């Protein structure tokens, strides 16, 4: 009777090959891992470009608008007054508010502050300081 019970039970070999026979293997499982990684990297890149670069451009644009409004009057008059008030206001806006956004607020506002500071530097270099009040009026 002991032999009969041993014959009814599957052997270890039968169990191993039965499990291996029932396992389904996905086609191209190794090839699918790389597109997942590449897709995640591409989504992160798109999120960075959409969110962070957009905030940088917005900060740059807002500073350009504020600079154009503040410097239009003094630069269009025939007798040029002192540009010291505009210089102080613009540098405090760019590096005071922009620096506050970068170091204390963070998040998307960090790149907005970087955009403001970059706009001040860009306008100063391009206009040799006329648009930011750095130079003495002629």
* Tokens, residue 118: 């970059």
State how far the Cα of 105 lies from the Cα of 66, in Å rounded to an integer: 21
- What confidence score (pLDDT) does residue 6 get? 59
- Say if residue 136 is exposed, middle or buried (CB neighbours under 10 Å; 0-12, 13-18, 19+): exposed
Q: Which range of residues forms the domain containing residue 110?
A: 48-137
Report yes or no on 33 lying in a domain.
no
- When pLDDT is cut at 50, 70 and 90, the band that residue 137 belongs to is low
Please write the tens of the pLDDT for every residue from 67-105. Answer: 999 988 887 887 767 888 888 999 999 999 999 988 888
Report yes or no on 6 lying in a domain.
no
Report yes or no on 17 lying in a domain.
no
């Amino acid at each position: 009777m002991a032999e009969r019970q041993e014959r009814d039970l599957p052997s270890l070999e039968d169990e191993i090959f039965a499990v291996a026979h029932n396992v389904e293997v996905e086609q191209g499982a190794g090839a699918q891992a790389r597109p997942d990684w590449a897709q995640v990297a591409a989504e992160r890149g798109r999120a960075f470009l959409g969110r962070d670069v957009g905030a940088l451009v917005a900060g740059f644009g807002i500073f350009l608008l504020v600079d154009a409004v503040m410097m239009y009057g003094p630069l269009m008059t025939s007798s040029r007054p002192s540009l010291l008030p505009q210089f102080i206001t613009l540098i405090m806006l760019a590096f005071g508010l922009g620096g506050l956004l970068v170091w204390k607020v963070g998040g998307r506002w960090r790149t907005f502050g970087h955009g403001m500071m970059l706009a001040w530097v860009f306008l100063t270099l391009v206009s040799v300081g006329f648009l930011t009040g750095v130079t003495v009026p002629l």
